[in-house]
């Protein structure tokens, strides 16, 4: 979502500015920030200082989630910063730019009917926001405090934008939101009752759109209707990013995730019935109160689901979150050692998964010369660098390692 926000900002300013790779020559330097973990927040001020040294004449703006939660504190700590623009206020970039020392961090701001300028970088695929904010209260997460309450973007606006992209040659669309499968819970305008499954069906009717992806669905809202649509709609790519966070039901409760280990495993069992489906996930290790037994529950889910990819981190306490004040914080060394074990075991699983890919035939959208993504989200290389660009081709896999597959085009 941050990448998409950055693209929106760039597009909004495209009539006045052009991109430079050289900060020394820039008139304007924008830092779009994340606050999900602690490190990027620390990096913000060192990065600001270094950039200001390189180019003291530039105008500086800080955007994104850290802007939302730190607000004017950023200008206090780095007085050369000209404005601060929260993650919920991307469409107000010009207002921020033209208001001295602007601090625009309005969490109730409604961007859902604002249509951003075209941001497409790749001619064949694009990402499209379907909602803003998040209503969940996961006890470790700062996002609801930086992106505000959940609002869905009206369906006709989404469909209209995708139709336009399809007419321009886009074949693959990724629907973006904090909890995409909670789409339709709340709109800021009067709107017929629809849910994410309805949206998927409507998007798949658009001529020219051949592949639909989405990220991220919440396991809690992965009901049978949604999973059936995912399995049976041929335009929906057979890859699901399904954030587990922990395999321990006790910890999932403390995290306020709203589902149990059994529910997660049951959903994955249904998903795994789809041929060649990929399941990827996020895992937090060392959440407050995590015992060795709790960690073993996470390892157990890893063994059972055999995720095609995991994004795993040691728990990072965030300000304004419930978990940061929990008394039973886990020793950092213990958490690091568990993370190591998790990643080591996952690397072995990946080796096995890679070996199983040899001989398979996947549909691959060739996005750049000699490379593309399979329907189920593997990066696939082909020898031809001057052919098939923008086409969806059948590739027979002849070689595989943990990160990349390679093969020959067979159709």
- Which of 45-53, 54-62, 66-74, 131-139 is the region at the interface with ligand SF4 (rule: CB under 6 A)? 131-139
Backbone angles phi, psi at 64, to 5 degrees: 95, -160
Task: Candidates 132-140, 272-280, 352-360, 364-372: pick the segment binding ligand SF4 (CB under 6 A).
Answer: 132-140
Q: Which is nearer to ligand SF4, 230 or 259 (CB)?
A: 259
Q: How far apart are CA 381 and CA 396, in angstroms?
A: 11
Task: Give buried/exposed letters for 207-240 (b at 16+ CB in 10 A, else e).
Answer: eebbbbbbbbbbbbbbeeebbebbeeeebbbbbb
Q: How far is the CB of 244 from ligand SF4 (least distance, A)?
A: 12
- Decide: is 280 part of the binding site for ligand SF4 (CB under 6 A): no
Quick one: residue 71, left, alpha or beta (phi over 0 = left, psi -120 to 50 = alpha)? left
C-alpha distance from residue 70 to each of 33, 104, 272, 330, 383 (Å): 11, 11, 42, 27, 49
Residue 73 corresponds to which tokens in the numbers above? Answer: 């504190």
One of 40, 64, 86, 144 touching ligand SF4 (CB under 6 A): 144
Q: Classify 146 as helix, strand or coil.
A: helix
In the block, which residue shows the tokens 């699901």? 240
Cα 95 from Cα 26, distance rounded (Å): 20
* By the rule CB under 6 A, 136 interacts with ligand SF4: yes
The region of 66-74, 111-119, 135-143, 385-393 touching ligand SF4 under the rule CB under 6 A is: 135-143
178 binds ligand SF4 (CB under 6 A): yes
Which residue in this structure is represented by tokens 């080591």?
Answer: 344
217 binds ligand SF4 (CB under 6 A): no
Choice from 74, 96, 138, 339 touching ligand SF4 (CB under 6 A): 138
Q: Which of 22, 321, 313, 351 is nearest to 144 (CA)?
A: 321
Q: Shortest gap between Cβ of 146 and ligand SF4 (angstroms)? A: 9
Interface stretch with ligand SF4, choices 133-141, 203-211, 346-354, 387-395 (CB under 6 A)? 133-141
CB 112, min distance to ligand SF4, A:
17
- The H or E element that residue 355 is part of is helix 332-357
Residue 9 interacts with ligand SF4 (CB under 6 A): yes or no: no
Task: Residue 114: count other Cβ atoms within 10 Å of its Cβ.
Answer: 14
Site string for ligand SF4, 236-275 (x = CB under 6 A): ----------------------------------------
Does residue 179 belong to the site contacting ligand SF4 (CB under 6 A)?
yes
Q: How many CA atoms lie within 13 A of 73 on its CB side?
A: 10
Interacting positions 287-326 with ligand SF4 (CB under 6 A): none
**Choice between 74 and 138, CB closer to ligand SF4:** 138
Query: Which segment (96-104, 124-132, 138-146, 391-399) binds ligand SF4 by CB under 6 A?
Result: 138-146
Of 134, 170, 284, 354, the one binding ligand SF4 by CB under 6 A: 134
Q: Find the binding residues for ligand SF4 in span 90-119 (CB under 6 A).
A: none
How far apart are CB 87 and ligand SF4 at their closest, in Å? 11
Q: Whole-angstrom Cα distance, residue 86 to residue 98?
A: 16
Among 143, 155, 162, 397, binds ligand SF4 (CB under 6 A): 143
Q: Is the peptide bond before 216 cis (omega within 30 degrees of 0)?
A: yes
| Distance separating alpha carbons of residues 353 and 53, to the nearest angstrom | 48
Please, what is the minimum distance in Å from the beta carbon of residue 182 to ligand SF4? 9
CA atoms within 13 A on the CB side of 58: 23
374 interacts with ligand SF4 by CB under 6 A:
no
By CB under 6 A, name the binding residues for ligand SF4. 134, 136, 138, 141, 143-144, 178-179, 218
């Amino acid at each position: 979502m941050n990448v998409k926000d950055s693209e929106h900002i760039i597009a909004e300013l495209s009539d006045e500015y052009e991109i430079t790779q050289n900060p020394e020559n820039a008139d304007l330097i924008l830092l779009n920030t994340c606050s999900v973990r602690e490190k990027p927040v620390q990096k913000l001020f060192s990065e600001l200082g270094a950039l200001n040294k390189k180019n003291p004449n530039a105008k500086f703006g800080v955007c994104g989630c850290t802007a939302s939660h730190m607000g004017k504190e950023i200008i206090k700590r780095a007085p050369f910063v000209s404005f601060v623009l929260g993650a919920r206020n991307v469409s107000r970039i010009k207002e921020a730019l033209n208001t001295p020392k602007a601090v625009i961090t309005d969490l109730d701001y409604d961007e859902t009917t604002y249509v951003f300028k075209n941001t497409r970088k790749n001619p064949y695929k694009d990402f499209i926001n379907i909602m803003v904010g998040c209503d969940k209260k996961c006890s470790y997460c700062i996002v609801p405090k930086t992106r505000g309450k959940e609002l869905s973007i009206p369906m006709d606006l989404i469909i209209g934008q995708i139709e336009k992209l399809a007419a321009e040659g886009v074949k693959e669309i990724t629907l973006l939101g904090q909890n995409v499968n909670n789409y339709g819970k709340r709109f800021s305008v009067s709107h017929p009752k629809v849910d994410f499954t309805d949206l998927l069906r409507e998007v798949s009717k658009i001529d020219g759109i051949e592949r639909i992806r989405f990220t991220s669905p919440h396991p809690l809202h992965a009901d049978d209707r949604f999973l059936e649509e995912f399995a049976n709609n041929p335009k929906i790519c057979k890859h699901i990013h399904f954030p587990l966070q922990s395999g321990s039901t006790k910890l999932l409760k403390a995290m306020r995730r709203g589902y149990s280990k059994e529910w997660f495993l049951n959903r994955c069992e249904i998903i795994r019935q789809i041929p060649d489906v990929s399941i990827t996930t996020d895992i937090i290790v060392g959440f407050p109160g995590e015992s060795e037994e709790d960690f073993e529950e996470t390892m157990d889910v890893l063994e059972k689901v055999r995720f095609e990819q995991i994004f795993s981190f040691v728990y990072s306490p965030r300000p304004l979150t419930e978990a940061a004040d929990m008394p039973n914080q886990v020793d950092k060394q213990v958490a690091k050692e568990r993370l190591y074990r998790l990643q080591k075991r996952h690397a072995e699983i990946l080796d096995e998964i890679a070996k199983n890919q040899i001989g398979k035939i996947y549909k691959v959208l060739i996005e750049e010369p000699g490379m593309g993504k399979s329907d189920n989200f593997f990066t696939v290389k082909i020898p031809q660098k001057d052919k098939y660009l923008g086409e969806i081709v059948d590739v027979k896999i002849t070689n595989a390692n943990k990160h990349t597959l390679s093969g020959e085009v067979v159709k």
